[in-house]
Chain A
């Protein structure tokens, strides 16, 4: 798992126009290969809904009414705010996802801060510090 995450991290660090198929394949491969059962016994927060499989690393903080899964990996020290929904996605370490955002088939890079709220995105890579929807549309990398 760690090796595949490192490879994905490396590729999303220097995205090119022709990386789309590679990213999509790596995401699918990771989710199908490394996720099977839930590993959700270590989060901080109340009672989110988990659709198997969901894998949480240590010190993940989760808000109210959050729906995670199926096929979600969340790296350590990340924070998911209220009403967020995430499926088929990899969230790397130390990521912040603001309220009521909906992510499907996404890769969110290490230390990314998605401060803006009420966004609904699919099939994309997001890396950086995003304070508004305008910021998001400037940096979002759609792979489908």
Chain B
């Protein structure tokens, strides 16, 4: 491939849009994108097989910035750190703020700073896990980069995916992100302590999630007041 074509492919890869590719390299770009997705899924499957073989439960948590992923994880860690040996992998563009918060609850944390990437992928998780002694853990949480769009492209090899939204994001937040709810097992609607003040139509949020995915379990929580945190833990079968 010529240097010009290589540059074009790299540019398109960064923009993540096949529509922008020139006609003569369109097929190549489509094939490359398919291969990358296939490789990610394959690696995710291998990771899940390995974790299952060792009896390690794994859950990944997705949600927008400020939805309450870290706050819920803190509450979960607080309740479960004596029952399970927990590893939390935290994804963020930059900083170690979330990992530092969670680490206070006696769990091991590892931070991944993705820089420009908007989601974790299976290779990030593979790199972390292959450098850990997995005999030291019974339960792994992966907190994805705060984002409701990109994480739906990448499976991470966990048993279960939990998506967290909050009522402060408005009642359309679920309806606008179908892919994520289709591939989630549990949907958490957080910050219900603010419901009276905000008047968000929480029933619509729940119905939208169930319309996209009839198998999804919807839990309404407040990480701030602890409402339904125990129910969430039960729903996660922990």
Contact indicator per residue, chain B 80-120, by CB within 8 Å of chain A (1) or not (0): 00000000000001101001000000000011111111000
Chain A residues lying within 8 Å of B99, measured Cβ to Cβ, are 52
**Once bound together, how far apart are the Cα atoms of A49 and B121, in whole Å?**
12
A52 touches B112 (CB 8 A): yes
Instruction: Determine if B131 and A38 form an interchain contact, defined as CB atoms under 8 angstroms apart.
Output: no
Q: With the chains together, A70 CA to B117 CA distance in Å?
A: 17
CB contacts between A and B, total, < 8 Å = 44
Q: At the interface, yes or no: A15 with Cβ under 8 Å from chain B?
A: no
Provide the residues of chain B in CB contact with A70, threshold 8 Å.
Answer: 110, 127-128, 131
Give the residues in chain B near A48, CB-CB below 8 Å.
Answer: 115
For B, the interface residue count at a CB cutoff of 8 angstroms equals: 16
On chain B, the residues within 8 Å of A88 by CB distance are 131
Q: Any chain B CB within 8 A of the CB of A47?
A: yes
Say yes or no: A47 contacts B131, CB within 8 Å: no
B128 and A51: CB pair below 8 A?
yes
Residue on B nearest A40 in the bound complex, by CB: B113
Residues of B within 8 A of A46 (CB): 115-116
Q: Does B176 contact A (CB under 8 A)?
A: no
Chain A interface residues toward B at CB < 8 A: 37-38, 40, 46-52, 65, 69-71, 87-88
Closest 8 CB pairs of A and B: A47-B115, A47-B116, A50-B113, A52-B111, A49-B115, A70-B131, A51-B112, A48-B115
